[in-house]
């Protein structure tokens, strides 16, 4: 206690998020995961497609095979962990933004909550759908952003 005040105790992921807001994640056991949720595999945030759990053996514990797809790169990944193993869960933010300007390779956006402006690389599938002044939805995880709905 310092001068009669109680000091606050934060979990590790909160301290990590305060130190580096782009690397925010929490932990969960494999048995707590569900399809459609997210986890970090090879430092890439991934959406879980399927989970198969085996029965425990005579001397071993149950294991789970998790199939997932990367949010930003679209690559399929598969991992096998014991059900009591702790994995990282990314803090994913879904935000609204307004398109300020377009070029051939990037788009400049303004967040509708914070009014912060930023630029993102423009991929081929969203290039024809965006117009200056329109609103879009984007995901933000581990310091990276992706347009999800235009």
pLDDT tens digits, one per residue of 77-92 = 999 999 999 999 999 9
Q: Could you give the CA distance from residue 106 to residue 145 in angstroms, rounded to a whole number?
A: 13
pLDDT tens digits, one per residue of 109-140 = 999 999 999 999 888 778 788 889 999 999 99
Tell me the β-bridge partners of 97: 111, 136
Residue holding tokens 């789970």?
64
């Amino acid at each position: 206690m310092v001068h009669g005040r109680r000091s606050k105790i934060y979990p590790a992921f909160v301290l990590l998020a305060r130190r580096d807001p782009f690397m925010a994640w929490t932990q969960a056991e494999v048995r707590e995961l569900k399809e459609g949720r997210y986890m970090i595999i090879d430092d890439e945030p991934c959406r879980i497609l399927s989970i198969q759990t085996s029965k425990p053996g005579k001397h071993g514990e149950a294991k789970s095979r998790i199939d997932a797809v990367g949010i930003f790169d679209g690559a399929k990944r598969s991992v096998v962990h014991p059900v009591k193993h702790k994995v990282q869960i990314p803090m994913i933010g879904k935000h609204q933004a307004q398109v300020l300007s377009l070029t051939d390779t990037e788009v400049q956006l303004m967040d509708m909550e914070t009014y912060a402006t930023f630029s993102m690389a423009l991929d081929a599938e969203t290039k024809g759908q965006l117009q200056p002044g329109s609103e879009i939805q984007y995901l933000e995880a581990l310091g990276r952003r992706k347009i999800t709905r235009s």
